[in-house]
Structure 1
């Protein structure tokens, strides 16, 4: 596409909209190239140009290429290429030469547009300006260097068209509002925003620092977090500083004397050294040293110890240092407190940094400091002012005045700090050595009263005890915040060694993978249920994938539903599974924002869940997120409302004896009926007897289970396309065929994902499903499809078939044969409760009818509808297999 064609393709207002420049009705906008208080950038749609008329600006007159070049700070060639990308005439490429996918380009475009909007938002936000001032940070503008940041007022989508809203919704910038009003709400409203960038220095993620006092969490990221802050280190980097938080990195970026010598990279908390960080560090060929500049508290020291070990293994050729940050200080607090001499202070601290050895940090954390008060002979307390969280159920705080113990750990409600407190005197002259009480440390009157009572009982000064309690409160707050931050950095990952990785990869790369998985499941102790077990296993393995699946396991009481669920879930890595026996009404709403994301949720008894809990569960299955409006106290004690979001998606397995009651649940799930036949019962008893006699090796079952878990860890999320999707049609008799067809297509994708080491990818990096995947999916899903076609659920169908067989055994006149409940109960070995439910269900569906008898002597029944389930099964089988046989290879 030539330059003239590009100029004809776009108007200057189109480019302004793409770049996030807001143009008013008069065609004017605030100029982004200088500090513009009144709109001075004039747009001319007729001439297709923009001109800044301010005497303080050198931008002058710009066409669409010039505006793009100056706004994105790129060369003319790069600006032209960017415009070509926007026309769709070329695929964008990164600095590494790899083609950027359309979804990546879309993500970069929407996040860049949003961030430019957020940058302009600071101009009208007094709160964000005050916060930046309190932190000693200045915002980058065309006329000054500072921190690249913006403010999210929550109005980014207010004037957006539906296409832009759909893109913003896709990448988590907004979410659908709850209630009947519809519309959208902004993610992380009232937050400072910092851009996270990829290797090409394009914005691929955002970090939000909430300024809202009532916010549940102060630190928020978009889901599927990508990018580094402030950017990827330069390839020629020799010295690198790692900070604990983004605010700390932004602070150091403002000190020219530091940036001239060091590259700076922010971790996302003490446990926030991600895979993307390590890949970036691994790529720095000239790197000579890494310096940790974490907070001066126990959590910061522990974080340095943990992350330095990781980097030492990653880069044994690089020296690793750490800065001894003053106690209870961090990079930003030091900068704020010594702003006039900040550069001198930080150079001094970096000059005095210490080279780390494997045990140095551990010794430093455990090193005792001298105490000024005498201590009892029976114990040697740690340093005065020492805060210890090594035992989360007994947090300790030691001062020269007393020892303080928080028993039972911390609650997660941010509007209070309720603790069970034990105060122990450090001297032997006290009337009694311990004082115990419960209190809320956010209630000043309670703290004053407790301080007086403890001081009186322990012969201490009340003012000093109260001061200790306030310091303890600060420490507990920081500890709780760090706990929440560590949860948001993602789930713990199990690192597989090279031997295990090679074994798993070899297993996943061979043909008949699903069949071989099924054999391993059998070796691990799942008896019989050959089709059900592999079906459930594939559903459970979808938890990490883009399209998650759900199963509802039906069966009568004592049929082995829960055992099957527990055994199958054991093959999924422990870090990806949550199992529940009971779920309270609002418990799903109270999880952290990403606690349930890509987890397998196992419910042992769906029957016991109340409607409110079932609603939340269904929303996680379908909408893949929960959003709720709740209330709590802010820091001033005022009751305020705030939004709480829990993100999915989840995969799930649940057990029930009453599958037909849960219509909404059944629509979202694959129905799986437990095998309750006599042959299966004999197989289970035979296995139980062999295991009890020692003929089955339990250690071998555990080894197989661990191997399957490691294979699942090797599977990676990926988009899948099915070129045969429109070639196979499910039987029209199926119940809720729209949703069943969606479930079938999702299961085909899951089978392809399981075979990802044997499947090809298209130009966009998507796996391509093959005919084999459709065949395997149809065979595994066949019984579930039959359950959707059949109006009887699994256990009821089994009872009905056994009943027909029994009645037919009564001779040629079987069609008129009448029977009573006692007769059937004894013939089929059923409990009275089970049989009563089956009889009522068949009566309501008009398969049998009551022919006589009395309530006190028992009723008589007769079968009135003799269906042929085998003929139906054969019909559905021919319908599916005929289509599969006719598939042509594309």
Structure 2
């Protein structure tokens, strides 16, 4: 029997007041200290009080005899009952039950008896079963067991199911009492008790069987859980009597099962004309007489699908056939019983009627009919029930030409299924598309003929499985084996041809190329050859209804173009809700070809790993909200950094064995995200360019004006032109080739290196230059180096990239207080003055706090405060001097201190780059590497008092490397005016 749940024990120990319980035993308790009560111990002769009760803990202990425990322990000691009996007493919560003399084993029950001692045998049966039913409703594990077996509460009420939890004896007097001896002896004679004094159905679910008068004829007990004895089924002693569900015999067709639970399974599925025998050997004369007396015409034997069930079905069919009853064998998968099948093939209300409809005839009373034939009209009631449970599927039949010359074979496609019609036989094929190899042809095949059918899973390439299907289908449909064999051969050839064509089409590389008409091609080429291409793109954005956001539009467009590079850019558009971030993304994506962009609203953690191998290669992956891709953030980071995704996952081979499969998704892909989050994941932020939407009042006014203009005639005209503009840009994107880009100016470029994050920012900057060059490929000569084709970036590309980088990668001086920003401008003047005086570059100038104080005239306290702030914001760098000397500073900012726009520090001055290009040539060596370019060196006293490393000099924002290789300042100043205008 089940254990008492720990939760219930704890509740009893907590909720039953121990002090009240003790006082109910006539034990006086007095305060003892501030928390306890004390009285005389009822468990030993106690002259002085030693029995202590602690109400706060609901515990007791005796300082004399050592007795201690909870309310359960107190009841066990005081009433002399068992642990379970004590729990039952506490459940009743009735203080009058706690009287009596202490420390004596109680033989008079403290709980009310569920049976009347003077009741007759039938009444005693009913009262006991009523008590078992009450115990079932109060025992959650028993109810859960029935629920897991699919037995509904309706069935519990209808069949009066109960549970014997061994508490009946606790409510009966012991044998040493007259009443106890008499009632226990009567229960033993009825079979409810054993000679040992234990309940016969102890721990069993109890299913009573009643006769026509309503008296108990039989009781079936089913043990729950695993039993060491191996005994799960119990009955009353003696021969089996009675019939389960006598109402089933009111129908001319009856379902007969092996066990009670199997019968209740059909009953709960809506098939109420069901009864059972008492195990495989439990078909009684009473059953046979009931079938004969009620004139049952057909019996469906739903026995277990095993050897014992088959033997019992053959034997019982013979007995029933002898009295003129047609018998049919309900076919379950081998080794299954009705209950197991109903639990696995859901809903049972649909699956079980179908099995009844396809039951195989075992015996027919019609001597003029072959035993293998079946009168399908006899199943009208079951067919109606099955028809009501099926979901009608409507499909437009698309005729598919059969590979056979025989026109009698008709092959049609119904959604994902196929239907093959050969004469009067109709075959349904399901699951053909799941085959991924030409070596297997696994399908779900159903054959129907004159209302009879057979369905099974098989591999048509396995001869043994084909033969098994043919034999079983012949038995169930009465078709000849040779006919079925010919049909299956035709179906195999037809499906083989279909599968071969499908797999061949899937293996062929899918070309995403779109044919561009000649007129559209010329318009796209005109766009790509426009010398003012970037301005043209911005103009087209405005014509398509996107106002303002100049840098954001251009940056988003270039990021989309970068998908054709080996390391594309990634974009995050950040703004508050309804600010227009999604509109910006949509505007950019609409200018890209449909076949080269993928857009999702949300993504699961591993969704990217299971895309096609080349589904993301050189595509744009757009996700509407970054929050929707939070679970896939790791995959997005890998895709951006590594350019590919790989995952190892377990699967099963054709034999069902586990194996490791590798999934690989090629990149690269340009990633486009939007977010409303204020704080963005730092790792994702490092990999992406962050665009912030203009949320100013002026921008809102401009958007309102554009929205109003859309309702005018001019707005309608622009709406029509918009489609042509978008088509032109999409075709232009299709004409772009993924060429290599060489930047001959790359060694001369500079970038800040004071933070590790700039390692990735530098890559973004270089990629921006390559993307602009790639966009202008139709304006650049195509060069070759062996089999390698490439184009070169120009100074114009770098200039355009610098203007974008300043806004996207730079910082705004608006983060500085006005006085600190004013000091930054003064320091620029100080550095310029020192540089001119010493003849050195500005990025090599160092100054002290005294120099700044003398130049600005500020107080030391004021100057120290603002210098520290500039150092915190990384606008100046602090250089610690030698021991005892003062701090020195270098100016890290090389922008315009009067501008509030974002500026990226450390980029090379484009005029110096133009000068260096003019002087040495794009393809020439650096100045200083050839003897003709050598010249005087920098003055010895120039530069900082503290020497710098080459790395820090190259990252400090100037052209130190160029000048260090041979250009002195005087030569530069002489040549610069001559090349400035070029």
The answer to whether the superposition gives a TM-score over 0.5 is no
The normalised TM-score by structure 1 is: 0.43
Greater Rg over alpha carbons, structure: 2
Given the two structures, how large is their TM-score scaled by the length of structure 2?
Answer: 0.39
Q: Which has the higher contact order (CA 8 A, sep 6+)?
A: 1
